[in-house]
């Protein structure tokens, strides 16, 4: 394994993350493609960030992930007319997010958002359990297979005779 990839892997395994000067924790709002993502800071301001090529094929992100973004050149980039204002310096994984939530570095607005999401998921689980209580085996009902136009039917002896009649 080469040095860059090895160091990247080592950084992802660390639980404790320290923020440098000009770095902020942001939440991924959407993936725009071509290594550009839309992120939202703690105040609710959205901006575009560059997801560096060094993370390709090593680290994946999805909507709702948390990243550490370097915003040192944000003002200069926006003045020059560039839409991409910041650079992703690190992707935060589950263990790192859990550790950061306990520190004062974690934005308060992200704490409330995560609590709201967990309440919504628990409420939806309870609703699903009430709906599924009708089943005997505890499994949700099966949906119809829309891949086939009509279900498989057994051949009737009369159809096979008509085929043999055409062979004569």
Give the residue among 77, 86, 88 at the shortest CA–CA distance from 45. 86
Which pLDDT does position 53 carry in this prediction?
A: 86
Residue 29 forms part of a structural domain: yes
Question: The domain that contains 65 carries what CATH number?
Answer: 2.40.50.140
Residues 93/58, Cβ–Cβ less than 8 Å: no
165 located within any domain = no
Q: 101 in a domain, yes or no?
A: yes
The answer to whether the beta carbons of residues 58 and 8 sit under 8 Å apart is yes
Give the whole-angstrom CA distance, residue 44 versus residue 113.
11
Number of domains in the chain: 1
The overall pTM is greater than 0.85: no
Q: What pLDDT digit, counting tens, does each position of 56-93 carry? A: 778 888 999 999 999 888 888 888 888 899 999 989 98
Q: Alpha-carbon distance 25 to 113, whole Å?
A: 14
Note whether residue 46 is domain-resident: yes
| Residue 49, in any domain of the structure | yes
For residue 10, what are the domain limits?
A: 3-110
**Cα–Cα distance between 67 and 60 in angstroms, integer?**
11
């Amino acid at each position: 394994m080469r040095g860059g990839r090895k160091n990247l892997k080592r950084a992802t395994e660390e639980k404790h993350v320290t923020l440098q000067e000009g770095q902020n924790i942001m939440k991924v709002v959407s993936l725009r493609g071509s290594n550009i993502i839309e992120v939202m800071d703690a105040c609710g301001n959205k901006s575009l960030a560059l997801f560096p090529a060094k993370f390709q094929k090593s680290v994946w992100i999805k909507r709702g992930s948390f990243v550490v973004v370097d915003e040192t050149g944000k003002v200069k980039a926006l003045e020059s007319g560039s839409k991409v204002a910041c650079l992703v310096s690190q992707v935060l994984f589950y263990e790192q997010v859990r550790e950061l939530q306990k520190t004062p570095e974690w934005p308060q607005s992200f704490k409330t958002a995560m609590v709201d999401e967990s309440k919504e998921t628990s409420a939806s689980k309870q609703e699903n359990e009430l709906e599924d209580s009708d089943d005997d085996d505890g499994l949700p009902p099966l949906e119809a297979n829309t891949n086939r136009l009509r279900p498989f039917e057994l051949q009737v002896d009369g159809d096979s005779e008509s085929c043999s009649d055409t062979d004569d």
